[in-house]
């Protein structure tokens, strides 16, 4: 290894002559001073001694190839997660980064990309997931020795005003149950009073219903990646037991009386596996529309704008009203931590502060 001086039209320049791992010789040219060349050579020697040196030529691999490799390595992820990552890759990552060489990407380039997604009206969750996908691609590039440093900056997005969840009252739950076709009334009641996800309800088997202990054992879920049914563990990969009110147990007893032992508790009216996209369009939304039409005729306010997933929020609400604390709600809903439950349902636990003050008032005796 050596440093040599050479002449250019712009004056004297310096180059570093190196032997790369594997024996190949290369020159790094263009240093304006000998000191710059010495610093580069010293840094190279440190990186080589640590086994972390990456030649610049390695960074010429295109991002489209790295993105393909990253998605192919996603076999450990849930099918729906893989489908979501592929969708973000097609719309937000590949069109922008596909023709770039990985070694050319800088932190500023990535911030420009995030800004372009914001300008295009991408939702916060979409930007976060696309950012995470790009981070995975660049981490893979480091593992494959295409780059030595990940240029990925921390994601900084404008603060988003938290949207309040719609919560149905007990009367509204009953109104919705009564409006549904009879085959789906038990399903609505279970979603609204247990908080299990639609995919978990669609995959529920008779053997997972413990009538004696009033429990649903949530052990699997069904999703539709690319329109194909796929069974897997519940979200976060954790099985759980969910309490069921006695009134719902009575409804489930009637349902189980007609369910095939090796089939599903909830099915379509034709006996097929429930698909959220189809069921929401053909059954749930028409029921909401009928409710609103009736309410309009009666001069009543519209029914709350909800989706099937919002029934999960309703379950959290009625549980808190019944006295459930945050840990109980966390276990019921299958959140990975109580912190997530508090973050999602902070508005439900606001009244706890008032309850604390009231209970303290009942016992404090500082003045007589």
pLDDT for the residue 366: 59
pLDDT for the residue 57: 61
Are the beta carbons of 215 and 240 closer than 8 angstroms?
no
44-52 long-range contacts (CB < 8 A, ≥24 apart) are 44/16, 44/18, 45/1, 47/148, 48/21, 52/148
Residue 227 clears pLDDT 90, i.e. is over it: no
Separation of alpha carbons 111 and 272, rounded Å? 47
Averaged pLDDT, 224-244: 89
Q: What is the dihedral of CA 282, 283, 284, 285, to 10 degrees?
A: 40
Residue 230 DSSP class: E
DSSP 2-48: EEEEEEETTEEEEEEEEE-TTS-EEEEEEESSHHHHHHHHHHHHHHH
Average pLDDT, the chain: 87
pLDDT for the residue 37: 83
Residue 55 clears pLDDT 80, i.e. is over it: no
Separation of alpha carbons 276 and 202, rounded Å? 9
Higher pLDDT, 55 or 192: 192
Separation of alpha carbons 257 and 162, rounded Å? 43
The distance from CA 139 to its chain's CA centroid, rounded to whole angstroms, is: 19
E strand or H helix that includes residue 349: none
Separation of alpha carbons 319 and 43, rounded Å? 60
pLDDT for the residue 235: 85
Separation of alpha carbons 329 and 364, rounded Å? 30
Residue 21 clears pLDDT 70, i.e. is over it: no
Separation of alpha carbons 175 and 195, rounded Å? 18
Q: Name the pLDDT band for 177 (thresholds 50, 70, 90).
A: very high
Separation of alpha carbons 338 and 236, rounded Å? 14
* pLDDT tens per residue across span 64-84: 999 999 999 988 888 888 999
**Contacts of residue 71, Cβ cutoff 8 Å, sequence gap at least 6:** 82, 85, 86, 89
Residue 140 has phi, psi (to 5 degrees) of -65, -35
Rg, C-alpha atoms of the chain: 29
Residue 214 DSSP class: T
pLDDT for the residue 53: 52
- Residue among 158, 217, 125, 162 nearest 348 (CA): 162
Q: Name the pLDDT band for 190 (thresholds 50, 70, 90).
A: very high
Residue 191 clears pLDDT 90, i.e. is over it: yes
Coil/strand/helix, residue 231: strand
pLDDT for the residue 148: 77
CA angle at 357 for the pair 351 and 362, rounded to the nearest 5°: 125
* pLDDT tens per residue across span 92-139: 999 999 999 988 898 989 999 999 999 999 998 999 999 999 999 999
- In the sheet that 215-218 helps form, which strands lie side by side, from edge to edge? 209-210, 215-218, 240-243
* pLDDT tens per residue across span 301-354: 999 999 999 999 999 999 988 888 889 999 999 998 888 888 888 788 765 555
Q: 40: buried, middle or exposed (CB in 10 Å: 19+, 13-18, 0-12)?
A: middle
* pLDDT tens per residue across span 144-171: 878 877 888 888 887 766 677 899 999 9
Residue 20 clears pLDDT 80, i.e. is over it: no
Residue 45 clears pLDDT 60, i.e. is over it: yes
Residue 356 clears pLDDT 70, i.e. is over it: no
Phi-psi region of 292 (alpha: psi -120 to 50; beta: other; left: phi over 0): alpha
- Residue among 197, 195, 189, 196 nearest 170 (CA): 189
For the ranges 286-290, 294-298, 318-322, which has the lowest average pLDDT? 318-322
């Amino acid at each position: 290894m050596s440093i040599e001086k050479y002449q250019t039209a712009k004056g004297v320049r310096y180059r570093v002559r190196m032997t790369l791992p594997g024996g190949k010789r290369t020159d790094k040219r263009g240093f304006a001073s000998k000191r710059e060349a010495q610093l580069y050579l010293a840094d190279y020697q440190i990186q080589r001694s640590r086994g972390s040196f990456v030649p610049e030529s390695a960074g010429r691999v295109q991002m489209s190839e790295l993105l393909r490799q990253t998605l192919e390595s996603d076999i450990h992820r849930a099918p729906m997660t893989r489908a979501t990552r592929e969708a973000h890759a097609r719309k937000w990552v590949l069109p922008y980064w596909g023709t770039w060489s990985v070694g050319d990407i800088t932190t500023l380039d990535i911030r420009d990309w995030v800004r372009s997604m914001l300008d295009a009206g991408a939702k916060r969750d979409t930007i976060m997931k696309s950012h995470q996908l790009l981070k995975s691609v660049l981490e893979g590039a480091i593992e494959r020795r295409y780059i030595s440093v990940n240029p990925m900056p921390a994601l900084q997005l404008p603060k988003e005003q938290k949207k309040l969840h719609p919560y149905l009252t007990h009367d509204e739950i009953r109104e919705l149950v009564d409006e549904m076709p009879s085959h789906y009334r038990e399903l609505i009641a279970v979603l609204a009073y247990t908080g299990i996800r639609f995919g978990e309800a669609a995959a529920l088997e008779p053997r997972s219903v413990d009538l004696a202990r009033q429990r649903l054992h949530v052990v699997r879920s069904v999703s539709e990646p690319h329109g194909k049914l796929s069974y897997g563990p519940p979200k976060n990969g954790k099985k759980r037991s969910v309490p069921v009110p006695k009134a719902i147990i009575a409804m489930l007893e009637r349902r189980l009386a007609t369910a095939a032992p090796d089939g599903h508790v909830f099915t379509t009216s034709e006996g097929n596996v429930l698909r959220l996209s189809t069921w929401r369009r053909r059954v749930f939304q028409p029921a909401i529309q009928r409710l609103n039409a009736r309410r309009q005729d009666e001069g009543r306010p519209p029914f709350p704008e909800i989706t099937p997933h919002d029934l999960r929020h309703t379950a959290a609400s009625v549980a808190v009203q019944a006295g459930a604390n945050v840990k109980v709600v966390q276990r019921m809903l299958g959140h990975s931590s109580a912190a997530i439950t508090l973050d999602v349902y902070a508005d439900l636990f606001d009244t706890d502060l008032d309850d604390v003050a009231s209970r303290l008032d009942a016992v404090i005796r500082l003045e007589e």
